[in-house]
Amino acid sequence: MKKNWLYLLLMIMTVLLLISCGAEQQEEQIEEDADQQELEETGETERDEEEQVLDEATGHDEGDVVENEGGTFTLISKQDDIESQETGPMIVDITQINASSGQLQGDLADFLETTEIEYIQVDMEVENTSDDTIFFYPGQATITTNTGEQLESDMWLSDHIDGEFIGAVRKSGSQFFILENSTADEIETVRIIINAPHNEEWEDTGDKIDFTVEF
């Protein structure tokens, strides 16, 4: 009988120990998840703030100089008379393209790890005119320039435009392309390339978009 009680007591102690360890692990996991969520939210906030600084600096006329907490920005060239592009059920309106130069300071300089920046901003509005779900990724557009650069948008500065268009919806955003080997005042043309849209069966529902904008 004593052996049975001793065995039962050991079993109870073992179960309690496992429960205690599990609770500690669960508490640690909750704390880790909370820390990760705070880090992600902080990163998103910082990205939104830096993007807003650049966006404000380029929403002006050619030759304008804008000063803010991010630095001093000069709008070199601007084109807002751009024909809409249609492919299948999708319509892409490039509302404007800017080429700008910036002298950075403060948090923006720290965020981009540079004090100078030359960039192209492409503002776009995208619409699915059908009731079908269409997959289309204008936020992953590639651009080339007359200076010989081929660029993808900067993921940290650009707006995220989700590629799943569920029915007749509209989405918009700004895409920032950081020039690497040329300056904004050298940009005369920008070629924009966006892959063809497709449906849920991965069948193309239109053609690739490929057009050039002149400043």
Neighbours of 151 (CB within 10 A): 19
CATH code at position 182: 2.60.40.4170
In a domain, 55, yes or no: yes
Among residues 91, 122, 137, which one has the least CA distance to residue 192? 122
Q: Are strands 90-104 and 116-128 parallel, antiparallel or unpaired?
A: antiparallel
Is 43 a member of any domain? no
DSSP letters for 165-205: EESS-EEEEEEEEE-SSS-GGG--EEEEEEPPPB-TTS-B-
Query: 169: pLDDT confidence band, cut at 50, 70 and 90?
Result: very high
Tell whether 182 is covered by a domain: yes
In a domain, 6, yes or no: no
Q: Which residue has the higher pLDDT, 179 or 156?
A: 179
| Single-letter residue type at 36 | Q
pLDDT of residue 127: 98
Show the domain range for 151. 49-214
For 36, residues 6+ apart whose C-beta sits below 8 A from its C-beta are none
Note the pTM of the prediction, 2 decimals: 0.75
Calculate the average pLDDT of the chain.
82
Residue 196 within a domain: yes
pLDDT at 19 over 50: no
What's the structural domain count of the chain? 1
Is residue 34 assigned to a domain?
Answer: no
How many CB atoms lie under 10 A from the CB of residue 179?
20
Residue 90 has pLDDT above 60, yes or no: yes
Question: Would residue 141 count as lying in a domain?
Answer: yes
Please check whether residue 25 lies inside any domain of the structure.
Answer: no
